[in-house]
Amino acid sequence: MASDRRDFVKTAVAGALTPLFVPRSAWGANDRIAYGLIGTGNRGGGLNKSFQKVGAQCAALCDVYQPYLAAAQKDSPAGVKTYVNSDELIAQPGLDCIVIATPDHQHLPMLFKALDAGKDVYLEKPLSLSLEQSARMISAVRKRKQVVQVGMQRRSMGFIRQAKKMIEDGAIGKISVVKAIWNWHFALPLDTSPLAGELDWNRFLGAASPRPLEPLRFRWWRGFCDYSGGNMTDQGTHLMDVVQWMTNSGPPHSAVCKGRITNAPGVEVPNVFTAVFEYPEFLATWTLDYRSTYDHDWSIRFQGEEATMVLDRKGLRLFKDAGLSKTPWAQKVSAEPVLDIPETDAPEAHQQNFLDCIRTRQEPNCPVEIAAAAVAGPHMANLSYKEERQVRYERIVQNS
């Protein structure tokens, strides 16, 4: 490795490692944290296993769809209490915290009820259905002393925390453009056939517009504006959070978005789109294409004048910039990274952080303010897509 490259890498990684956990030895021997889980589907089922893996006790489960509840029960200790009504779960004595993994339209009401009951809360992302909801949720959390962790797990990933330190230390220089991408060739579950098991449809709807049961809306609620901000906020909240975290930015000043619904009959939200976000010092694009496996999965590319940093499911890679040139067409630019840090994190780090904070009463890695800022741009991009106009953050906040 040439010496300037070696120095560059040394500076880039200096001090980048920070401890993520409160050591287990600092805890009491038998004080297991008891949780109640609301929403035992795809994510909730996974969280149930993760929380048990890091030592928490599953004491209650709630779901409006019987087959998911039964599956989660199998992964839980014998005697776990089960509910269809989340109010009853929240009222169960002995729960230290509530884990909420329901569709997005239930996040605000369930968070509020859990807070009113005095519980700490692990709430899945995206935080809210709108900027206005985000503001109400921050205000409700800050009126109390409870610990609330939002489920944006990249906040607890070691290689992303290393990236943060490296960027702060100047590893990539001034950033001009950030590109966030999510590519999957996704066979969406657009199935309208009757559901196999019993569903309490009215509880699923909650405060959303009443309507007769539509199995497609249950299977792919992300496709409908009553229940979510679509793929835009679903994946965008994860990636735009990392963009804003790495660049010390709040929500973007403005957003524009174009999208299309491609080979996805029956849904309301685009599965192919690009949003452009304007930040004071750089531009960011957020592109989702659920019709392609090219450059598969998520990635974020920070293009700086000293180097470009790529973060993705594989880890962190740094590409040194070849520098200014009067003849860029003749420039030799290496495609080899000068640094490659593989992703080796425990998948439960974010849940572990929540449990640690329940004990220490410290702020968790992803508090509500961060989650609100992360989803702000995607909410603005959704408005831009629907209303075919540029959306400015200050105007919406002033008008809400």
Ligand X SMILES: NC(=O)c1ccc[n+]([C@@H]2O[C@H](COP(=O)([O-])OP(=O)(O)OC[C@H]3O[C@@H](n4cnc5c(N)ncnc54)[C@H](O)[C@@H]3O)[C@@H](O)[C@H]2O)c1
Query: Is residue 106 close enough to count as binding ligand X by CB under 6 A?
Result: yes
Three-state DSSP at 34 gives strand
Candidates 120, 234, 289, 348: give the one binding ligand X (CB under 6 A). 234
Query: Is residue 68 close enough to count as binding ligand X by CB under 6 A?
Result: yes
Which range of residues in 56-64, 155-163, 274-282, 325-333 is near ligand X by CB under 6 A?
Answer: 56-64
Query: Is residue 215 close enough to count as binding ligand X by CB under 6 A?
Result: no
Return the bridge partners of 98, or none. Answer: 36, 121
Contact present, 58 and 80 (Cβ < 8 Å): yes
Pick the closer one to ligand X by CB: 128 or 254.
128
Which range of residues in 64-72, 178-186, 249-257, 325-333 is near ligand X by CB under 6 A?
Answer: 64-72
**Alpha-helical regions (H) of 14-55:** 42-53
The residue count for binding ligand X (CB under 6 A) is 26
d(CA 239, CA 153): 11
Candidates 36, 41, 270, 315: give the one binding ligand X (CB under 6 A). 41
Q: Which residue has the tokens 């009504």?
A: 85
Query: Is residue 38 close enough to count as binding ligand X by CB under 6 A?
Result: yes
Pick the closer one to ligand X by CB: 88 or 306.
88
The CA-CA-CA angle for residues 9, 303, 235, to 5°, reads: 110
For residue 3, what are its two tokens? 């010496």
For residue 178, what are its two tokens? 């950030």
d(CA 301, CA 217): 34
Three-state DSSP at 273 gives strand
CA 285 to the chain's CA centroid: 17
Candidates 13, 48, 54, 63: give the one binding ligand X (CB under 6 A). 63
d(CA 159, CA 203): 40
Query: Is residue 290 close enough to count as binding ligand X by CB under 6 A?
Result: no
Query: Is residue 203 close enough to count as binding ligand X by CB under 6 A?
Result: yes
DSSP assigned state of 91: H
Query: Is residue 39 close enough to count as binding ligand X by CB under 6 A?
Result: yes
Pick the closer one to ligand X by CB: 220 or 319.
220
Positions in 123-162 near ligand X (CB under 6 A): 124-125, 151, 153
Pick the closer one to ligand X by CB: 270 or 304.
270
Query: Is residue 64 close enough to count as binding ligand X by CB under 6 A?
Result: yes
Spell out the SS3 assignment of 292-343.
CCCCCEEEEEEEECCEEEEEECCEEEEEECCCCCCCHHHCCCCCCCCEEEEC
Query: Is residue 104 close enough to count as binding ligand X by CB under 6 A?
Result: yes
Contact present, 254 and 380 (Cβ < 8 Å): yes
Query: Is residue 40 close enough to count as binding ligand X by CB under 6 A?
Result: yes
Which range of residues in 36-44, 166-174, 181-189, 314-322 is near ligand X by CB under 6 A?
Answer: 36-44
Pick the closer one to ligand X by CB: 304 or 364.
364
| Interface residues toward ligand X, by CB under 6 A | 38-44, 62-65, 68, 86, 101-104, 106, 124-125, 151, 153, 203-204, 206, 234
